[in-house]
Structure 1
Amino acid sequence: MKAHVVYATITGNNEDIADIVTEGLEDLGAEVEETEISQTEAEELNDADLIVICPYTYDEGHLPEEGMDFFEDLGDLDLSGKTFGVAGSGDVFYEEFYNLAVDEFSKKLLATGATQGAANVKINLDPDEDDIKTLDKFSNELFQAASK
């Protein structure tokens, strides 16, 4: 199984999340490519069976600026037959805007025809021990869903 993990980060938190998910998928036997969002063309996702996006939410619900082209280009893809998951870091300080990018990427991927393989994961700031367990479970659920 080929997986592609794409992350956007300012503080390093989402790169940490992407690394945890990548390691979890590799441990399950997936061949994983991990890339930063501004260095990734949306079309590259066509080569993956499993797609994971790890975005941050900026300020009051804004998507990562460096990922806007990628986000918009996702809308042009037909990812039917692919499985996806979205996990991202945010700051609960922003209350109702907390981790909205996770939801927006999830909606965009659903619109491409891809199948959501696990519930969205929202992490406050940097992943702690409990979050690592949650991300391992997320990776496992995604791998199982994509294996069907």
Structure 2
Amino acid sequence: MKALVVYATITGNNEEVANIVVDALRRLKVDVVETEISQTDVAAFKDVDICVVCAYTYDEGALPEEGMDFFDELQEADLKGKVFGVAGSGDVFYGDDFNKAVDEFEKAFVKSGATQGTKSIKIDLEPYEEDVENLQVFAKELVAMAGR
């Protein structure tokens, strides 16, 4: 089983989220590649079973600027038969806009025809112990769904 974990980060928090997911997937014997969003082509998702995006929300609900092309391409992709998960770190300070990128990437994956493998995860700032545990469950659920 193969997975691609794509992240966008400014503070390093979403790279840490991605690293936690990658480590959890590797412990589950998944062959994982991790890449930064501006260095990734959506077509790379066609070569894996599990597709993951870990992205931040900028300012008041904006998606990562460096990931806009990726986001647009994702909405146009045909990822039927792929399993996806979305996680992200944000700041609850932004209220209703807290981690809005997680919701937007989830919608883009649905539009692509991919199957949601687990509930999306929103983390306030950096991942703490409970978040790490939730991300490990996230990885297990993705693997279980992709194995069906």
Alignment TM-score > 0.5, same fold: yes
Distance in 2, Cα, partners of 1:41 & 1:81: 18
Partner residue in 1 for 2:91: 91
Distance in 2, Cα, partners of 1:17 & 1:37: 14
- TM-score (ref. length: structure 2): 0.99
> What secondary structure sits across from 2:76 in the alignment?
coil
> What secondary structure sits across from 1:75 in the alignment?
helix
> What secondary structure sits across from 2:89 in the alignment?
strand
- Unaligned 5+ segments in structure 1 are none
Residue type at the aligned position of 1:139: A
Distance in 1, Cα, partners of 2:8 & 2:15: 7
| Percentage of matched positions with identical amino acids | 57
> What secondary structure sits across from 2:56 in the alignment?
coil
Runs of 4+ in 1 over 4 A off after TM superposition: none
Cα displacement (A) at 1:128 = 0.5
Distance in 1, Cα, partners of 2:58 & 2:75: 21
> What secondary structure sits across from 1:130 in the alignment?
helix
Partner residue in 2 for 1:56: 56
Partner residue in 2 for 1:80: 80
Aligned residue pairs total: 148
Distance in 2, Cα, partners of 1:77 & 1:68: 14
Distance in 1, Cα, partners of 2:50 & 2:43: 14
Partner residue in 2 for 1:104: 104
- TM-score (ref. length: structure 1): 0.99
Residue type at the aligned position of 1:107: K
Cα displacement (A) at 1:126 = 0.3
Partner residue in 2 for 1:40: 40
Partner residue in 1 for 2:143: 143
Residue type at the aligned position of 2:74: L
> What secondary structure sits across from 2:94 in the alignment?
helix
Cα displacement (A) at 1:76 = 2.0
* C-alpha RMSD of the superposition: 0.5
Partner residue in 1 for 2:113: 113
Cα displacement (A) at 1:6 = 0.2
Distance in 2, Cα, partners of 1:95 & 1:53: 22
